[in-house]
Amino acid sequence: MQEIFDSMPSWKNFYTIDAHERSTDTFVSEHTGATTTLLGHSRNGHPIRSISIGKGERDVVLVGFPHPNEPVGALMLEYLLTVLAENDFGFRWHIIKCIDPDGARLNEEWFSRPYDLRNHIYHYYRSPSYLQIDWTFPIEYETLSFQNPLPETLAFKKLLDETHPSLLYSLHNSTFGGVYWYLTERCPQIYARLHSATKKQGLPLYLGEPEVPYAVTYDRAIYEAFTVADEYEYLLKNSAENPSRVMKAGTSSDDYARRFNTFSVVCEVPYLIHPKVADYAESGVKRLEAVSSRLGDEKRLFGTVKEIYERIEGRNDSSPFKPVIEHFLNTFQGFHDAEVKWASSLQGFATEAELFDNTVILPLQNTLLLGELWRFVDESSPRDKEIKKEEISQIIEERVQQFESKCHFTMVPIRNIVAVQLETLFACLDYVKERSP
């Protein structure tokens, strides 16, 4: 097994979608045991194909670019295919390198050059929740009804419906911080192996605030995969609004796949790391104070984006960034109010990791939205376009400089983060082999 990791290439950048497509064609032409299936097309007409290989009795589905700004997993899949050509490990494999080609293309400017934080911010795109392929599977829950899957989601759903996989691995990745996982069931026999995978690659565990307040923790940096029902119940408890007025998306692929008794995993790996994200020491700052600081920053950011957006003339209605900004403005208050209420009951001191998360990482993460606002202005036709772009750029620069003054992040070699995702896969394969079908 070690030779698989020793043979991994050292990538310098992420691939464009066209490069992934060319690689697929070459691989299938050179390996008679591999086939492609056309599952559907994206909203812009790009074909969505799966690559199938292996002769085992149980199926595995792996999907790259579950969000358009998450290119790591597709590189893992590129390398994995070369491994599977020699050994299928007793499974039938079905691989979609990119489930969101339209959105991914809007990020390619920062894929194809050495990583730079400012370049990332100005070329970043992440779709709003109701346009995210991995979160637009159909669902009926209480007053929430979502029955309009995207064409890309239907392609993904088709593969799940046809294969009933034993394992589903949706290859997400984060941006800043450390490594963490979501699993659809408790499996303590692999936790140490997951933790070891990060240590071998020199990456910290992400021990800051959970991604959502209602996350259930299995172990350090390992959480139960949350569902749309979990979010609904959280909002019902903490918000004055009916949850269905705030929630605009469907449910996730792993939640949908539960009907097939599928075990699902998500492994979030970052581009930039800092040791503070794994520091469990008490900070001396109340956790409520740390969370409230971040919530205040988010409220100010909302006001800034709203004020600038309302002053934009000649808006480009066909811009992909318009739904991003409007969805943020339309849903922010409901989620913000719920988190304020949730936070009011927090007790005790924040750990150093939680403090760092609330005061550095999450404010920096939120700065990415300003890059999308800048791109929307650039694609629109206000009379003072350059003035507005410069106004947004100044805010971005102020936030980035604040971040840089507080800490120095380390850029992770792509090979290392791909290796963590790959080792996670092999740990889950071993678990699935012993699990009841």
Per-10-residue mean pLDDT of the chain, 437 residues long, equals: 92 96 98 97 98 97 98 98 97 98 97 89 97 97 96 98 98 96 98 98 97 97 97 94 93 98 98 95 98 98 97 94 98 96 97 97 96 97 92 97 90 96 98 89
- Paired with 145 in beta bridges are 140
Examine the domain organization and report whether 188 and 246 are in the same domain. Answer: yes
Residues 213 and 295 in one domain: no
- Same domain membership, residue 422 and residue 395: no
Residues 400, 425 within the same domain: no
Query: First CA to last CA across the chain, in angstroms?
Result: 25
301 and 244 assigned to the same domain: no
Separation CA 192–CA 187 (nearest Å):
11
| pLDDT for res 112 | 81
* CA-based max dimension of the chain: 64
Distance (Å, rounded) from C-alpha 250 to C-alpha 247? 8
- Show Cβ contacts of residue 193 under 8 Å, excluding neighbours closer than 6 positions: 423, 427
Output the pLDDT for position 240: 83
Q: Based on the domain organization, do 304 and 394 belong to the same domain? A: yes
- The domain spanning residue 64 has which CATH number? 3.40.630.10
**H helix runs in 41-190, sequence order:** 72-84, 101-105, 108-111, 117-122, 151-163
**Of 72, 19, 122, which Cα lies nearest the Cα of 422?**
72
- 415 near 8, Cβ under 8 Å? yes
3-state secondary structure of 59: strand
- Are residues 188 and 281 located together in one domain of the fold? no
| pLDDT for the residue numbered 110 | 95
What's the structural domain count of the chain? 2
Q: For position 45, what pLDDT does the model report?
A: 98
- Per the structure, the complete domain to which residue 342 belongs is given by 277-408
Q: Are residues 404 and 416 in the same domain?
A: no
How far is it, in rounded angstroms, from Cα 320 to Cα 324? 7
Claim to verify: residue 71 and residue 18 sit in the same structural domain: yes
Regarding whether 256 and 326 lie in a shared domain, the answer is no
The residue count for the chain: 437
In terms of DSSP H, where are the helices of 344-381? Answer: 352-356, 362-379
Q: Are 204 and 179 in contact (CB under 8 A)?
A: yes
Q: Are residues 293 and 219 in the same domain?
A: no
Q: Average pLDDT, whole number, for the chain?
A: 96
Strand (E) or helix (H) holding 390: helix 385-406
Q: What are φ and ψ of residue 348, in 5° steps? A: 80, -175
- Indicate if 20 and 56 belong to the same structural domain: yes
366 three-state secondary structure: helix
Q: What is the pLDDT of residue 437?
A: 73
For residue 204, give both structure tokens: 């910290």
pLDDT in tens, 362-380: 999 999 999 999 999 999 9
Q: What are the tens digits of pLDDT across the range 25-60?
A: 999 999 999 999 999 999 999 999 999 999 999 999
Residue with tokens 């070369």: 82
Q: Provide the pLDDT for residue 167.
A: 98
CB 147 within 8 A of CB 138: yes
